[in-house]
Amino acid sequence: MEFMPEFRTARPTTVAEAVAIRAAEPGSRFLAGGTDLIPNIRRGIVAPPTVIDLAGIAEMRAIESLDGGLRIGAAVTLAELANHERVRTAYVGLKQAAGGIAASTHRQVGTVGGNLCLDTRCVFYNQSEWWRRANDYCLKSKGDVCYVAPKGSHCFAAFSGDLAPAFMVLGAEVEIASKSGVRIVPLTEIYQDDGIDYLLLKPDEMIAAVRVPAPSDGFRTGYAKSHVRSAIDFPLAGVAVGLRREDEAITDLRVALTGTNSMPLAVEGTEGLTGGPPNEAMLQGLDALIAKQIQPMNSTFSPPGYRRRVVAKLTRSLILNLYRDG
């Protein structure tokens, strides 16, 4: 039977206070919407002695104009992001990603920062305590073996946040706060392909905000994903595409993925496919690029082969739709 263990709740009112608490209390965890953390605590997957509730930090709840783009606080809810007028009109792919996460009730409380830092998932990890104990746990938590690849020493739990690829094709940066101050880095640089240590953040750091550049003329974005049900489920695979069309040629092409690796993946090499229309040769070249860079494993209820095929299909469909509408 699952139960909620005891923990202390800290309620800071500033970013500086929040990161100071985190630095002073090893093992503490930040709490935003709690849609992922609270179930993991209840299942015994994590057991933080202190939970740092970020709900009272006003500076993390705002969406503001910045240099023609947007500064989006990490505690902005998914519903607020999807319904924001500027996001709906200038950043369509981001709106599609935020508006398709889980169910409407989840989007009312789930946050931007929470989705970017979403724990990696696996059918051997996201189970009840008694199930995991009966199976000697797994490499990601308390165990010694990755049941996805038992002969290896690497965790293949999959990243499944929707927002990261949508932000990546926009060239987004993140503000990372710590006791030392704030540093700004490209979103792509905070992840690594490791199911256990997927976030390259120091113990006392947290994402305070996301910076999205001003939209450039003619650059269009879209997001699509495959999932078992139309709501609640995490994506089996998700694709964000950004492209610019000039006359008959694609002059800028960006593709980012989720659900295929232990990190959100910005596909490399797409610049070599620009300069012409999205004909079959170009699309086959993109298929080959993606196939070399993704690594779907048996960490979800869908087989790796299915996720490979669906990524290719979703990417092609988005490119053709954006090209036609451009």
Both 176 and 110 in one domain: the answer is yes
Q: How confident is the model at residue 229 (pLDDT cuts 50, 70, 90)?
A: confident
Q: How confident is the model at residue 2 (pLDDT cuts 50, 70, 90)?
A: low
Q: What is the pLDDT of residues 24-58, one digit of tens each?
A: 998 999 999 999 999 999 998 999 999 999 999 99
Q: What is the pLDDT of residues 268-305, one digit of tens each?
A: 999 999 999 999 999 999 999 999 999 999 998 888 99
Q: Is residue 301 part of a domain?
A: yes
Residue whose entry in the numeric block shows the structure tokens 């709490």: 31
Taken as a whole, the chain contains a residue count of 326
- Residue 323: the pLDDT is 97
The span from the CA of 132 to the CA of 141, in Å, is 9
Query: Which residues, listed in sequence order, are joined to residue 223 by a DSSP beta bridge?
Result: 240
Both 237 and 291 in one domain: the answer is yes
Compute CA 47 distance to the chain's CA centroid, rounded to the nearest angstrom. Answer: 23
Domain of residue 270, CATH code: 3.30.390.50
Q: What is the pLDDT of residues 85-143, one digit of tens each?
A: 999 999 999 999 999 999 999 999 999 999 999 999 999 999 999 999 999 999 999 99
Both 204 and 228 in one domain: the answer is no
For the chain, the domain total comes to 2
- Express as a percent the part of the chain with pLDDT over 90: 89
Both 204 and 229 in one domain: the answer is no
* Inter-residue contact 5 to 84 (CB < 8 Å): no
pTM: 0.96
Q: Is residue 263 part of a domain?
A: yes
Choosing from 188, 212, 236, the residue where a domain stops is 212
DSSP at 288: H
Q: What amino acid occupies position 28?
A: S
The span from the CA of 28 to the CA of 44, in Å, is 15
* Inter-residue contact 72 to 81 (CB < 8 Å): yes
Choosing from 166, 190, 212, the residue where a domain stops is 212
DSSP at 14: S
The span from the CA of 18 to the CA of 202, in Å, is 14
Find the domain containing 272 and state its range.
219-325
Residue whose entry in the numeric block shows the structure tokens 């709900």: 55
- Residue 160: closest CA among 118, 123, 106: 118
Both 190 and 248 in one domain: the answer is no
